[in-house]
Structure 1
Amino acid sequence: MLLAAYSCTDRLYEQEGQLNTADVDYTATENMIDPLVGAYYEFATRGWEEPLLLSVRGDDVNAGGLGDQQDFAETDLYNYNKDYWMYNSLWQIHYRDIVNMNNAMDQILQYREFADPSDYDLADQYVAETKVLRGWLHFNLARVWGDVFIIETAQPTKEIEKGVASKDEVMQYISDLMDEAIPDLPAVHPADRPDIPGGVTRYTAYALKAMANLELGNYQAVADASAAIINSGTFELYPDYYQLFKKPGELSSENILEMQFSDFGQETGDTFYHLYAPFGPQNWTPARENASGGWGFYEPSMKFIKLMLDRGETVRLETSVLFTDRGIAEIQADPDYATLPAFVSNTTRDGDVIEDYPRALFASGKHYLPSVQLTPGRNDYGGGKNLICIRYAEILLMYAEAVTRGANPSGLSADEAVNLVRARAEMPPLTGVTADQVMEEKLAELGMEWGIRYYDMIRLDNYAELSYDGRTFSPEDELLPYPQAQVDALPLGGE
Structure 2
Amino acid sequence: MKNIFNFRIILFILPVFLFTCEDKLDDEQELVVLSDEIDYTSEEGAFGALIGAYEKFQSVGWEQIPLLSVRGDDVNAGGLGDQQGFADTDNFIYDNSYWMYNSIFENWSQDILQITSQIESLEDFRTGGVNSALIDQYVAECKVLRGFITLELSRLFGDVYKIETTDQTQIEVLPKDELMIWISNQMDEAIPNLLDVAPSQRTDLPGGITKYTALTVKAMANLEVENYQTVADATGEIINSGNFELFDDFYHLFKIDGKLANENILEIQYSDFGQASGENVSHLFAFYGPQNWTAAVPEATSGWGFYEPSFKYIKFMLDRDETIRLETSVLFTDRGIAELQSDPDYATLPNWISNTTRDGDIINDYSRAFFASGKHYLPSIELTPGRTSYGTNKNFTVIRYSEVLLMYAEALTRGATGSAGTADSAVNAVRTRAGLTNLTGVTSQQVMDEKFAEFGMEWGIRFNDMVRLERTDELSYDGRTFNMEKAYLPYPQSQLDQSYILNDYYQSQLNN
**Which structure 2 residues correspond to residues 60-79 of structure 1 after superposition, within 5 A?**
60-79=74-93
Matched AA of 1:3: K
- Matched residues in 2 for 1:319 and 1:380: separation? 20
Show the counterpart of 1:95.
109
Change (3 A) 1:141 1:461: same
Matched AA of 1:65: G
Q: Does 2:505 align with 1:492?
A: yes
**Which structure 2 residues correspond to residues 161-240 of structure 1 after superposition, within 5 A?**
163-240=172-249
User: 1:397-416 CA deviation, whole Å, 9 max, x = no partner?
Assistant: 00000000000011210000
| Mean CA deviation greater in 236-245 or 57-66 | 57-66
Q: Does 2:137 align with 1:137?
A: no
Contact preservation (8 Å) 2:80, 2:367: no
TM-score of the superposed pair, with normalisation by structure 2 = 0.92
Contact preservation (8 Å) 2:274, 2:384: yes
**Residue in structure 2 matching 1:434, options 433, 438, 443:** 443
**Residue in structure 2 matching 1:151, options 163, 169, 175:** 163
Change (3 A) 1:8 1:76: farther
Change (3 A) 1:9 1:272: farther
- Matched residues in 2 for 1:383 and 1:5: separation? 37
TM-score of the superposed pair, with normalisation by structure 1 = 0.95
Q: Which runs of 4+ in 1 moved over 3 A?
A: 4-11, 19-22
Matched AA of 1:493: Y
Q: Does 2:272 align with 1:263?
A: yes
Show the counterpart of 1:392.
401
**Which structure 2 residues correspond to residues 256-295 of structure 1 after superposition, within 5 A?**
256-295=265-304
- Matched residues in 2 for 1:25 and 1:451: separation? 42
Show the counterpart of 1:14.
none
Contact preservation (8 Å) 2:25, 2:168: no
The count of corresponding residues between Structure 1 and Structure 2 is 483
Contact preservation (8 Å) 1:9, 1:99: no
Q: Does 2:474 align with 1:453?
A: no
Show the counterpart of 2:14.
none
User: 1:256-297 CA deviation, whole Å, 9 max, x = no partner?
Assistant: 000000011111111110111100000001111211111111
User: 1:56-112 CA deviation, whole Å, 9 max, x = no partner?
Assistant: 000000000242310100000000001000001000110111111111111211111
**Residue in structure 2 matching 1:3, options 4, 12, 24:** 24
**Residue in structure 1 matching 2:137, options 121, 125, 135:** 125
- Matched residues in 1 for 2:248 and 2:29: separation? 44
- Matched residues in 2 for 1:21 and 1:186: separation? 30
Contact preservation (8 Å) 1:5, 1:92: no
Q: Secondary structure at the match of 1:322?
A: strand
Q: Secondary structure at the match of 2:180?
A: helix
Q: Secondary structure at the match of 1:74?
A: helix
Q: Secondary structure at the match of 1:82?
A: coil
| Mean CA deviation greater in 478-487 or 209-218 | 478-487
Q: Does 2:54 align with 1:33?
A: no
**Which structure 2 residues correspond to residues 334-349 of structure 1 after superposition, within 5 A?**
334-349=343-358
Percent identity between matched residues is 58
| Mean CA deviation greater in 193-202 or 66-75 | 66-75
Aligned-residue offset at 1:2: 5.7
Matched AA of 2:428: N
- Matched residues in 1 for 2:177 and 2:469: separation? 15
Change (3 A) 1:37 1:66: farther
Contact preservation (8 Å) 2:76, 2:90: yes
Show the counterpart of 1:297.
306
User: 1:414-454 CA deviation, whole Å, 9 max, x = no partner?
Assistant: 00000000000001000000000000000000111111100
Change (3 A) 1:355 1:462: same
- Matched residues in 2 for 1:389 and 1:466: separation? 23
- Matched residues in 1 for 2:244 and 2:160: separation? 33
Contact preservation (8 Å) 1:149, 1:164: yes
- Matched residues in 2 for 1:41 and 1:381: separation? 23
| Mean CA deviation greater in 278-287 or 66-75 | 66-75
Q: Secondary structure at the match of 2:505?
A: coil
Aligned-residue offset at 1:189: 1.0
- Matched residues in 1 for 2:365 and 2:156: separation? 33
Matched AA of 2:141: E
Contact preservation (8 Å) 2:378, 2:390: yes
Show the counterpart of 1:363.
372
Name structure 1 gaps, 5 residues minimum.
12-18
Aligned-residue offset at 1:208: 0.2
**Residue in structure 2 matching 1:315, options 324, 342, 350:** 324
Q: Secondary structure at the match of 2:445?
A: helix
Contact preservation (8 Å) 2:288, 2:306: yes
Show the counterpart of 1:59.
73
- Matched residues in 2 for 1:459 and 1:48: separation? 26
Q: Secondary structure at the match of 1:363?
A: strand
Aligned-residue offset at 1:21: 4.7
Aligned-residue offset at 1:485: 1.1
Name structure 2 gaps, 5 residues minimum.
1-21
Contact preservation (8 Å) 2:26, 2:168: no
Q: Secondary structure at the match of 1:3?
A: coil
Change (3 A) 1:6 1:424: farther
Q: Does 2:257 align with 1:245?
A: no
Change (3 A) 1:45 1:256: same
Aligned-residue offset at 1:6: 5.9
Q: Secondary structure at the match of 2:420?
A: coil
- Matched residues in 1 for 2:287 and 2:26: separation? 26
Q: Secondary structure at the match of 1:230?
A: helix
Show the counterpart of 2:418.
409
Change (3 A) 1:197 1:359: same
Q: Does 2:492 align with 1:483?
A: yes
| Mean CA deviation greater in 128-137 or 485-494 | 485-494
Q: Secondary structure at the match of 2:174?
A: coil
Contact preservation (8 Å) 1:29, 1:112: no
How large is the RMSD of aligned CA atoms in angstroms?
Answer: 1.5
Contact preservation (8 Å) 2:73, 2:477: yes
Q: Does 2:359 align with 1:350?
A: yes
Contact preservation (8 Å) 1:101, 1:134: yes
Q: Secondary structure at the match of 1:258?
A: strand
User: 1:448-470 CA deviation, whole Å, 9 max, x = no partner?
Assistant: 11111001001001100000000
